Chains A and B, each alone.
Chain A
Amino acid sequence: MAKELLKGNHAFAEAAIRAGVEAFYGYPITPSTEFLEYMSARLPELGRAFVQAESEVSAINMVYGAACTGKRVMTASSSPGISLMMEGISYIAGTEVPAVVVNVMRGGPGLGNIAPSQGDYYQMIKGGGHGDYFPIVLAPASVQEAIDYISLAFDLADKYRALVHVVVDGNMGQMMEPAELPPLREIPDKVPDWAVSGAKDRDPNILTSIYIDPVDEEVTNLRLLKRWKEIEKNEVIYKEYEVEDAEVLVIGFGTAGRVASSAVREAREAGIKAGLLRPITLAPFPADRLRELADRVKRILVVEMNSGMMLDDVLRLVKGKVPVEFYGRMGGMTPLPDEIYGEIRRVAENKGPGAQDPREDWIPRLEKVIAGEK
């Protein structure tokens, strides 16, 4: 199929349809609403299920219900909506049923704003809902990548009976880019043996997240953890740019990673040996690759659109081997390539020891940037 000019949210929705999604349940929220609008027209046309729920709480519980039937099901929302969904997300994880949740992240906390953000990193990657569970989290950086990884999200969800989050931000949801959609996949008519479908000629299937005896819950927690270890072994995805001889390693995901790649290119043109590691799977995180690179590079610069959330994971993995610095924008602000280029230059020239918490050095720098922009 040829490339077309596609709007992010529409392309993501169509990608899910092509991947065989049989139901979408959602609630309008900027900047993800076009996802829901698109589904409201397309799914009935294909004889598939669409419901605009009364709330995100209800939407995710509809997803939970359909997930129990083994059908491909999803929802898309944005930060405050995702907060409301955390109850159902925990139940989905606890019941071990597959589902895909797209979060078009916006500025927060609270009502925040509708501008692009990566402030839900902790919420999406570290759980967010109650209890011990491990969602897979994919972070594409372009419309094309989002299309590709939404397809993968469904495959991973089915493969591991797991919850898969796809995190993008308002930039990607709203932007138009040339991209290519995959062909429409056929929907398998085979029902998974664990799914509810009516207990005809078999014992009943019971899908629940209750394990009233703590020992049973512990066994379940252990099963989830062991499955997660498998996922960590098999499913890490990342992209790299110019890392082979890099002295300054920039790490960023999603939009921040994409902007950073422009900055790295500019740095290379200026003769600075910069490289980029852009995790696609934020969970499982490309930990082994980061450890390898940390042995080779002189300094690391983490770039995010939050207060340094992935930064904590980087610090944990780098273990002080090389100084780690941070540059973030928050609240719905997207950094410009020049800002990050300036940071790369600064970091390349900085020979001092890294701060215990790289945020401490960054806060005054950001205050200056904000003062300059105001």
Chain B
Amino acid sequence: MVATTELIYQRPESFTDVHTHYCPGCTHGVAHRLIAEVLDEMGLRENTIGVAPVGCSVFAYRYFKMDFVEAAHGRAPAMATGIKRVLPNNTVFTYQGDGDLASIGMAEIMHAAARGENISVIFINNAIYGMTGGQMAPTTLPGMKTTSSPLGRDVELAGYPIRMSEIISNLDGAGYVVRRSLHNPANIRKAKKAIRLAFETQQRGLGFSMVELLSSCPTNWKLSAQEALDFIAEKMVPVFPLGDYKVHPTLESLKV
């Protein structure tokens, strides 16, 4: 009798063989894996240049087995623009958190989208600054307690969360802008499809693409891993509705 084995799960080619520094229960690892799987499936690893941000994912380049650069805080879309314009046949993506993309890097993300830069942006929205220890982010929910809004975000003083996908989808240069969530397997599968479509957008030269991923930060939210995932579903999704905000007509018929 011959024993047969079927390989159903392995480390993507696009990953390095190291452990990440992320906290237990954090969804950065899931987001990283989805990107790696998509790049593997599209055969893009050897063609891709990633742009890492400043924030918890500052060391993202340690985990992806591909060329990477490390941007200044918020400037990843500018750096990606600089690269893509001289290497138009390479795949260029940024990986950015909410502080990076929606606060200090607001100008860079808006104008990269407005110019229709053929880059893909993976936007991790966990409503908090992770690396610096849990301060209020531009996406922090009203009433949410952080180390810099200890009584809860008071919208009278600190304003309201910014919905980036909605804003960017209004720019003509954007080809694909969607919001997904990483709080359960069904949503993770949808997130992967969206990441695939973002890179397909870039491959087809259809303009700027961004996938916003609602993500958890159990450490700074001071919740257990499961509670943090529940927090996304119950508290974040109502403020940041999941959905397709801009889909280029060419992508509508695409099956991935």
- Where the two chains meet, the residues of A that have a C-beta atom closer than 8 Å to any C-beta of B are 22-23, 25, 49, 51, 53-55, 57-59, 61-69, 71, 73, 87-88, 91, 95, 196-201, 204-210
Contact = CB atoms under 8 A, between A and B. Distances in A.
Nearest to A87: B72
Nearest to B88: A49
A49 B58 CA distance: 28
Contacts of A23: 82, 85-86
B67 interface: yes
A59 B115 CA distance: 14
Contact of A65 (B52, B64, B79, B115): B79
Interface in B61-119: 61, 64-72, 75, 78-83, 85-87, 90-91, 107-108, 110-111, 115
B51 A208 contact: no
B1 to A, nearest CB: 42
Interface stretch (B41-49, B181-189, B225-233): B41-49
Given A62-B81, A198-B49, A199-B46, A71 B86 contact: yes
Interface string B106-143: 01101100010000000000000000000000000000
A197 to B, nearest CB: 7
Contacts of A87: 72, 75
Nearest to B51: A65
Contact of B107 (A57, A69, A196, A207): A57
A236 B91 CA distance: 41
Contacts of B61: 204, 206, 208
5 contacts: A53-B78, A66-B82, A67-B82, A95-B70, A208-B70
A205 to B, nearest CB: 5
Given A54-B111, A58-B111, A68 B65 contact: no
For the side of the interface on B, what is the size category? Answer: 35 or more
A55 B49 CA distance: 24
A239 B51 CA distance: 44
Contacts of A88: 72, 75
Given A204-B66, A207-B69, A55 B83 contact: no
B90 A53 contact: no
Report the 7 A-B pairs with minimum CB-CB distance, sorted nearest first.
A65-B82, A62-B82, A208-B70, A65-B79, A61-B78, A49-B85, A61-B75
B66 A65 contact: no
A281 B115 CA distance: 38
Contacts of B91: 198
Contacts of B66: 198-199, 204
Identify the interface centre among A64, A65, A91: most chain B CB within 10 Å of its CB.
A65
Contacts of A25: 81-82
A206 B82 contact: no
Given A65-B78, A206-B61, A196 B108 contact: no
Contacts of B72: 61, 64, 87-88, 91
